[in-house]
Amino acid sequence: MGDGYLALLRQPSATGPPPRWDGGCGPGVTVLIPTYTAPGDRRTDTLRLCLSTVLNAAPAGGGMAVALVVVDNGLSTVDARTVGELLRACGCAYRIVTAPRVDGGRYTVAQARNAGLDYLARQPAASPLRQRWLLFLDDDTALAPHALAQLCGALHAQERAIAACPRVVPVSNLAASLRRNGHRQGAAPRPRRLPGPLRPGGYDLLSVTSHGSLVTGRTVGLLVRQDPVLYWIRERAPLFYEGTPYGSTEDMLAMAMLSRLGELWSVPGAEVADEARKTPGATRAQQFAWGYDHAWLAWALAEAGVLTPGVHALEWRAGTGWEHTSADWGPHSGFLVNPGELRLGYRMLRAIAADREVTVQMFGPRADAVRAGIREMGRVLRRWHAGAGSAQRRPRTDLPPLAARDWAGLRDGMDSLLGHLAGNAAGSLDHPPFFLYGARQPAAHPVDWSTP
């Protein structure tokens, strides 16, 4: 699937008004949720909360039917029985789909979502599972009461929109967050159009890596028009790419595929709570996987001819903002996100890598790859800072100003940054001469992209 899937990104996005594919058996919503059994983690409890918020967001008698497709992505026998009981109690049309394992016996979220979408694509249009809208949730997420209505309203209002993305709020404990916040509803910021990952020159990996969901949105809480997405799956390709080494970064490529079908819109007034990793070590491991796959993506997209050749950097300069610098390094192609911050991260990683035992404690069997990758990262940064003066520069006024990084936050804290950059280092080492180093940058405020 890899070469054919990535080659589709070279083709231009759709132009002109899209067909009005808002069919299905009714103006309801199909909710697709992968779930699995994790040791010591009662995901059936958070799934119960997730389903309850879906039913509260589309109450019975409110004119919006709900259909549920839950993908068994590695459930134990006991948990599979519990999930079946939960779905029957909802009183909605539902189906449990079993996801096949990928190479090596792994389960991945991309594989699970594709299995659910493939099942839906093979159902007749009159099936109660085929509603107008398709909502992606995880088994540890929860909808705010007004979120679904706001997402649907955005797609109703924007004829060219294929997808509407909520504001995803990380929480440490889903149940406690729902009790504490009581689904507060304040003033809703207006929806804005996302620029998307595809530009005339190809895939904009630099700004996607640096600004993430501000450019592409995320799959968690994503609402799409179901018919055109299922038509794409039947006729062209799966929505989610299954070939990444660690099974992450699926959002980055799926949103590129969706942008082939229409516009991507952000609806920040619609909130979805997402339970974050519970320990710094779990956060570090998750970020290592993401960082590795981001570096792998630089190689894979370059091999597919989707990236502009050369070495590119995005750097924040006080007083002038973001600046995109490009240089020709011969056979080398690469990306550096905020080289000033990278030097800080590199120095911390270099200090860790000086002690192999500490590196093993932090990164396990990939410790030696991390140590070698950090040395290579240092060589790249020294070369960049020695020769960046002769490179081509241009301002990136399309990106929001840099905000201070919150070291106390799980997603943007030190364990997150170190894990991500260590993954970048190992992934770049494994795929020469391509490299990518850099974590997501915190934004002071979102850019208004509603009139690109």
Is 55's pLDDT higher than 70? yes
Residues 143 and 147: their CA atoms lie apart, in Å, by 6
pLDDT bin (cut points 50, 70, 90) of residue 201 is low
Checking DSSP bridges between strand 66-72 and strand 321-327, what pairing results, if any? unpaired
Bridge partners (DSSP) listed for residue 34: 71
**Cβ-contact 211, 318 below 8 angstroms:** no
Is 19's pLDDT higher than 70? no
Residues 370 and 428: their CA atoms lie apart, in Å, by 10
Q: What is the pTM of this model?
A: 0.93
Cβ neighbors of 342 (< 8 A, separation 6 or more) are 336, 377, 381, 421, 437, 438
Query: Would residue 80 be called left, alpha or beta, if left means φ above 0 and alpha means ψ between -120 and 50 degrees?
Result: alpha
Distance of CA 258 to the CA centre of its chain: 13
pLDDT digits (tens, 9 = 90+) for 147-187: 999 999 999 999 899 999 999 998 888 888 877 665 555 56
Is 59's pLDDT higher than 80? no
pLDDT digits (tens, 9 = 90+) for 304-354: 999 999 999 999 998 899 999 999 998 889 999 999 889 999 999 999 999
Q: What is the mean pLDDT of residues 286-302?
A: 95
Bond preceding residue 433 cis, omega within 30 of 0: yes
pLDDT bin (cut points 50, 70, 90) of residue 256 is very high
